[in-house]
A and B are shown apart, each in its own frame.
Chain A
Amino acid sequence: MNHPILETARQQVLEQGIGLTEAQLVDVLRLPDDALPAALELAHQVRLRHCGEDVEVEGIISIKTGGCPEDCHFCSQSGVFDSPVRGVWLDIPELVKAAKETAATGATEFCIVAAVRGPDIKLLNQVRFAIGRIREEVDINIACSLGMLTRQQVDQLASWGVHRYNHNLETARSYFPQVVTTHTYEERLETCAMVKDAGMELCCGALIGMGETLEQRAELAAQLAALEPHEVPLNFLNPRPGTPLGHQDVMDGKDALRAIAAFRLAMPRTVLRYAGGRELTLGDLGTREGLLGGINAVIVGNYLTTLGRPADADLNLLVDLNMPIKELQRTL
């Protein structure tokens, strides 16, 4: 390894545990292809030293699909666009069944997601009832992703035992207005701040490959790092029919791997999770490279509206890589 930014990262991130700055991250994202293996190897060492060898496994499910009033240009669940996704509400027995199936894979996290601007009373009641039923029958941590919250809603979720809340930044502040016009970056940050204030773990993710520049990708990583989330799910755009980004090209696999390394070098201690779009962007080989390049968590099985790799494929890969699955720890 002789590229200057990687030598800097070895000293700064690996040895001292200090994430790279936005300007330094641009250098990582601009590394030539022949430096990519060294960047991934360094990111893997950083992950092992600062996070350990465990991999956190999670399942996610949509409790309310489609019909969202927001206009996130990547999202097939927006009611603003002509997407083939129809509105569906999931009933409680199905939700409990999914939680059981998820726990059976060894997953420690089960995230209940709704396509909404923010939860109304009907949704909150449904979520409260679902949490109670899941906790009665399944030994798994419950997370939620229900859009923007009020302070009261944050406190309610925390009191019901939700240990982690997902609310993504998605993209850099400078690119956000190109992707979402129905709410602001600041509104997203407000929910993130309230979640942390209430003592829940913050899961705050990224969606890359939406046409942002490398500089904006670095900006996003730096903005996420500044939030100090417990977890960052890293999504790669899967262009959805009918959405404004439906004709966007799938991002280059090497660029995706550079981003994985960069995000790990920005956030040495954060759970960095493979999320949507990796099958399309990285395939089987790339999935393996990412797990050896800074990733330390996966969403197992399917996503909210699309299918993932079979759970066994990921679990067998973890065995092949000699990476143990993180065991359940009660955090609340």
Chain B
Amino acid sequence: MTDRGTQRAAGPYCGLCGKPANGETHDGGGLPPSDTHLKCARLLMLEPPRFCVACGRRQKVQVSPQGWWASCSRHGMTVSG
């Protein structure tokens, strides 16, 4: 469905760390979009998304030499492009 790097920023949650991507922290704080997620975006060039960008749940992930898939129990499977 998607390719390296593009789907990971598409949802309300960060695919790398699973925290809200809109700048809110888990405790409801109102930090602005942080350097943390900029770093996450860079790291996602070398990582599959461990967290669902739609809900922040931890995903099952399988990496293969030429790609990866990630499966969220609620939102289904995402496959690298």
Chain A residues packing against B (C-beta within 8 Å): 59-62, 65, 84-88, 90, 94, 97-98, 101-102, 105, 238, 241, 279-280, 300-308, 311
Q: Which 9 A-B pairs have the closest CB atoms?
A: A301-B65, A59-B65, A84-B50, A98-B64, A101-B66, A86-B60, A302-B63, A307-B46, A102-B65
CB distance from B34 to the nearest CB of A (A): 16
B contact residues around A101 at 8 Å (CB):
64-66
Are A98 and B61 in contact (CB-based, < 8 A)? no
Contact of B62 among A60, A65, A306, A311 (CB under 8 A): A65
Given A84-B58, A88-B61, check contact A306 B47 (CB 8 Å).
yes
Given A84-B18, A84-B51, A280-B46, check contact A306 B59 (CB 8 Å).
no
Interface of chain B: mostly helix, strand, loop or mixed: loop
List 22 contacting pairs A-B, 8 Å CB cutoff, sorted by A: A61-B64, A84-B50, A84-B58, A86-B60, A88-B62, A97-B64, A98-B65, A98-B66, A101-B64, A101-B65, A241-B17, A301-B65, A301-B66, A302-B64, A302-B66, A302-B67, A302-B68, A304-B63, A307-B46, A307-B68, A308-B46, A311-B65
Chain B residues packing against A (C-beta within 8 Å): 4, 17-18, 45-48, 50-51, 58-68
Given A86-B59, A88-B61, check contact A307 B66 (CB 8 Å).
no
Are B59 and A61 in contact (CB-based, < 8 A)? no
Which residue on B lies nearest to A76, using beta carbons?
B50
A contact residues around B67 at 8 Å (CB):
302
Given A279-B46, A280-B46, check contact A305 B61 (CB 8 Å).
yes
